[in-house]
Amino acid sequence: MFIMFFFIKKMPIHLVLVSSIFALAVAYVSQYGFGFEPCALCYYQRIPYFVVIVFSFVSLSIRMADHRNIQTCIGLIFFFGALLAFYHFGVEQYWWSGSESCSQTQPLPMNFNEFQEELLTKMPKRCDEVEWTLFGFSMSVYNMIASLVLGFFSIFSRRLVTPHF
């Protein structure tokens, strides 16, 4: 009975942890396995998943941690990730321009050696170039959907977690 209660009490955090690891695994497999080049915003969208993994491990390793408030924090982190993904989708759709790190504008070289160095360096991928779509939606849309689902799950699963007194 105690093991079942312990598992149910921490199950939402386990599910969020596994989902975050899976999301990052998909990102890395698509980058290194399939050769998709991520842009700067794609890298930024990975940060909330790393933060959630750290919060989940800390929450699971500390026995007296306040799991209800950690679930709320994790939900807010996922909502921030969904906001980042929505911003990226807006850049892809040309609703607004991307950040400085998304553009390829660079100052003109001052001499021939600088020109040669620029020719040899790889240009970063622009954020408005969509590398891959499924059913007409880019990865940023799927990341936004996943972040929203995990955010709402984290917020609403607080009721499963009993507070420590």
Per-residue pLDDT tens for 136-160? Answer: 788 888 999 999 999 999 888 876 6
CA nearest neighbour of 128 among 96, 106, 154, 105: 96
Pick the more confident residue, 68 or 5.
68
**Residue scoring higher pLDDT (76 or 113):** 76
Q: How confident is the model at residue 1 (pLDDT cuts 50, 70, 90)?
A: very low
Is the pTM above the cut of 0.85? Answer: no
pLDDT, position 3:
45
d(CA 89, CA 61): 36
Min mean pLDDT across 1-10, 20-29, 147-156 is at: 1-10
Nearest to 39 by CA among 94, 109, 89: 89
**Lowest pLDDT segment from 20-24, 74-78, 121-125, 129-133:** 121-125
128 within 8 A of 87, measured Cβ to Cβ = no
